Amino acid sequence: MSDERRLEVLRAIVEDYVQTREPVGSRTLVERHQLGVSPATVRNDMAYLEDAGFIAQPHTSAGRVPTDKGYRLFVDRLSTVKPLSSPERRAIEAFLQDAVDLDDVVDRSVRLLAQLTQQVAVVQYPSLRRSALRHLELVPLGDTRLLVVIITDTGRVEQRMLELEAPVTDVVPELRARLNAAVAGRRLAELTEPLDRMVAAFPEADRPLVHRVIRVVEDTLAEATEERIVMAGTANLARSGTDFTGTIRPVLEALEEQVVLLRLLTEMAEDSAGVAVRIGSENHHAGLVEASIVATGYGGDGEAVARIGSLGPTRMDYAATIASVRAVARYLTRILAG
């Protein structure tokens, strides 16, 4: 079928261009790939693909290169994703399992993904809004100071200091026990009712303290300022410099704007519950029109609490990048759940 053959021609062009960085000609396709048709037929297929906007000729007498539209069709028709080798999987697991806390896990994950893909790796910190509470600790520090420690199911730890008007009373152990019984395993949206009921369970004299502690828990989980990302591998863009027209400066400037990346990751979460890919102009940001992003969610039980991804030029090895992003996300989820 001609459409299937043209897809094979497009696939061959994308794979050759990703490997060589050189525009691909019909003679090269015939020599390197078992397409089962004559050179004249391949030229006709390339002419069709060019007219349809899937490939383009960068300059006269040159071969063809994929366009954003061509990459999109290639990714959408990507039937197989190159699996990581057993040594690669063991190396990922060993590297991440040695982490000592959430900050270390995130730092190791982003550096590992940058090394695997040789691109820019981006890891979003687990969102408190989407995390469930694992444990609350109340630690008296002096007569009128109380430390509230909030631990989520992703291993994130938040600490808040309360300056009280009255001395800390012996109600703290009971409050700690009641809070943990009420909030363990629940997310922010599920906390309001059980916390409101808890206030009435305490004597009138203790309710101001109970109110203060509950308020700091709710305010901490509702904060928007905790949305942040960590990056690694920016220097890898320098090795891909020839893949960008002019300079990589627009890409670097876009990477410095965390709000831009956070918005993109959020939009990609809406695109797909699995691995999502944004290619070139699909990123809707002037600095990223020559870049592609592969991202997926991690953490949580059925619902991701954050995103992890890889950013590089549109001339990237999509199959290998998807495999690496997916593998690191799975190990990251497993470690946080443990």
Cβ-based neighbour number of residue 218 at 10 Å: 13
Asked if 153 and 178 sit in the same domain, the reply is yes
Q: Could you tell me if residue 81 is inside a domain?
A: no
User: In angstroms, what CA-CA distances link 254 with 88, 234, 260, 283, 286?
Assistant: 31, 12, 7, 11, 8
Is-contact 119 312, C-beta < 8 A?
yes
38 plus 153 within the same structural domain: no
Residue identified by tokens 């009971």 is 174
Q: Which of 34, 58, 76 is the last residue of a domain?
A: 76
Is residue 252, in this structure, part of any structural domain at all?
A: yes
195, 222, 249 — which closes off a domain?
222
Burial class of residue 36 in the structure, from the number of CB atoms within 10 Å of its CB (0-12 exposed, 13-18 middle, 19+ buried):
exposed
pLDDT value for 242: 73
Query: Is residue 305 in some structural domain?
Result: yes
Instruction: Count CA within 13 A, CB hemisphere, residue 331.
Output: 25
Same domain, residue pair 120 and 139: no
CATH code where residue 52 lies:
1.10.10.10
The CATH number of residue 330's host domain is 3.30.450.40
Cα torsion for 36, 41, 44, 45, to the nearest 10°?
A: -10
H or E element at residue 190 = none
Per the CB < 8 A criterion, the answer to whether 207 and 178 are in contact is no
Look at the block and give the residue holding tokens 């991701």: 304
Residues 43, 63: one domain?
Answer: yes
Residues of the chain short of pLDDT 50, as ranges, are: 1, 224-225
CATH of the domain at 179: 3.30.390.60
**Token couple for 213:** 């502690």
Boundary-marking domain end, from 204, 222, 240? 222
C-alpha 118/C-alpha 301 separation (Å) is: 30
Tell me the C-alpha to C-alpha distance, in Å, between residue 188 and each of 182, 222, 229: 12, 8, 21
* Pair (72, 191) in one structural domain: no
Residues 331 and 249 in one domain: yes
Query: In the structure encoding, which two tokens stand for residue 41, read together?
Result: 């037929």
**Contact, 306 vs 127, CB < 8 A?**
yes
Confidence at residue 197, expressed as pLDDT on a 0 to 100 scale: 81
Look at the chain and report how many structural domains it folds into: 3
DSSP state of 144: S
What's the predicted TM-score (pTM) here? Answer: 0.78
Domain span at 142 = 133-222
236 and 283 belong to one structural domain: yes
Contact 46, 63 (CB under 8 A): no
- Is position 25 within any domain? yes
Residue 298 lies in a domain: yes
Write down the pLDDT at residue 312.
94
Same domain assignment for residues 212 and 154: yes
| Assigned domain for 114 exists | yes
108, 236: one domain: yes
Question: Are residues 72 and 107 part of one domain?
Answer: no
> Do 294 and 275 contact (CB within 8 A), yes or no?
yes
Burial class of residue 142 (count of CB atoms within 10 Å of its CB; 0-12, 13-18, 19+): exposed
Residues 101 and 245 in one domain: yes
| Domain identity same for 275 and 203 | no
